[in-house]
Amino acid sequence: MSIITLLSDFGARDGFVGALKGVILSLNPHVHIIDIAHEIAPGDINAGAFVLASAYSCFPPDTIHVAVIDPGVGTTRKPLAVRANSHYFVAPDNGILKWILSAHPDAFVMELTEPQFFKTPLSNTFHGRDLFAPVAAHLSLGVPIARMGKPCTTFEHGVIPVLRLEGKRISGEIIYIDRFGNLVSNIPAGNLRDKNITGIVLPRHTIARLSSNYRNNDNGPVALIGSHGFLEIALDGQNANEILHYGIGAAIDIYFTE
């Protein structure tokens, strides 16, 4: 059984997600559809890109991932189908695949140009329903990705925050805030392995060490490696984003000895 995942900023109120599923099931009633997330903030491509990159590898090879956060729908931005790391991705060319394409520079990228694989008439405002969903359904039926368009070598790579290593300091920043208010950084666990951390410094707080979980008897912020595989900042039982008032882009410096 083929698997199609859906990620969007559509929410659950307006029927947009249901329309995507209806189009897919009309073409392939035997496909298995899984929702990754639909409560991404409207138009927040960076958050959607991070959530997609964090979740997709949990699925088996050949899963088809539809990611539709598309403020440029109906403009000249390209629709894409991508084969990377034994998975398929169907999405607008606006940076939502930036973590995937950065991690897999050998990805096969197609611009979707063949209208026989779209729903007609093609709306200028709902390509999720009329373009990306039917393309995913056709992929699930075994249509080769190469039949759906033309190879694409110029596409939006997006901006991934740069991790800096200077002497005994690693500098990163907050890149994602989850629904619990935990502040996720771009500092991977691997960069902290085998290091004796002497301080985790934010603009208004300093944390002495890494914790293994969210508990903190001192009632202050904790730093830990979260399930995404990155350093994150949290408050035990509280919303760190609302209380600490750090937003996306806030700096984090890790000081260490070997």
What pairs with residue 112 in β-bridges?
149
Across the range 142-167, mean pLDDT stands at 94
Give pTM, 2 decimals: 0.94
At residue 136, the pLDDT reads: 98
At 48, list the tokens: 């959607």
How confident is the model over 209-248, as pLDDT tens digits?
A: 999 899 876 778 999 999 999 999 999 999 999 999 999 9
* Strand segments (E) across the chain: 3-8, 32-37, 64-68, 79-84, 87-92, 108-112, 149-151, 164-166, 169-177, 183-188, 196-201, 206-207, 210-211, 221-225, 230-235, 251-257
Model confidence at 115: pLDDT above 70: yes
Identify the structural domains of the chain with CATH numbers, from first to last.
3-151 (3.40.50.10790), 164-257 (2.40.30.90)
What SS3 class is residue 80?
strand
Euclidean distance between CA atoms 147 and 149, whole angstroms: 6
Query: What percent of the chain clears pLDDT 90, i.e. is strictly above it?
Result: 94
Q: Name the more confident of 147 and 193.
A: 147
How confident is the model over 56-82, as pLDDT tens digits?
A: 999 999 999 999 999 999 999 999 999
At residue 84, the pLDDT reads: 97
